[in-house]
Amino acid sequence: MELSPSLVAEKAAEYRSVEPLYAVEADHLEIMPKTFDSGEYGRRDAQWPVRWYYRRHLGAFPDRDRRDAESRFRENDFEAVMESIEAAKRSESAADAVGELTALSGVDVGVASALLFFSDPSQYVAVGAREWNTLGTAGELSEPYPDPLSPSDYERYLGACRRVADRVDCDLWTLYRALWRLSDESTAP
């Protein structure tokens, strides 16, 4: 499979018309970067990307694991959450940004990628097995999905996403939608 401009555009449009979370994702990708940039956000705002990361699988992610991760994130001191988000935004590299966020309880590399994605979708995109494996099938990543992911794995994934987005002339949100639709359901979550 080649990730051509027409295939990416077609699958991203398909995502928009069939994925039940599209409208709320689009709204949050519009609102959340401004919210995080202003520093005027609350605990629930910071929790939204964490909840989205698991719930985007629409029940396919083990409920106990999802509830545990969400609960651990809620236990973080909110000042520490805000400091980690600010430190991530100032980071020199994606791996460093992920490292800042994974210092929080309940935040692994995947969840950190969601926090980064909703804080700056022009620079970051969420990672999971579905998206990674689609890039692998397309020949854009040579390594199988690493479990667990490391910050350097995320940086490698993000680099592949940026290269594809540049080549097909789309933004990272459009590419994410195409990768999700192209993914093999058996790889989820």
Q: Rounded mean pLDDT of 123-151?
A: 95
Picking from 62-71, 88-97, 145-154, which range would have the lowest pLDDT averaged per residue?
A: 62-71
Share of the chain above pLDDT 70, in %: 96
> CA 37, 89, 133 angle in degrees (round to 5)?
115
Q: Is the pTM of this model over 0.75?
A: yes
Q: What is the pLDDT of residues 111-121, one digit of tens each?
A: 999 999 999 99
Share of the chain above pLDDT 90, in %: 85
Answer with the residue of higher pLDDT: 25 or 187: 25
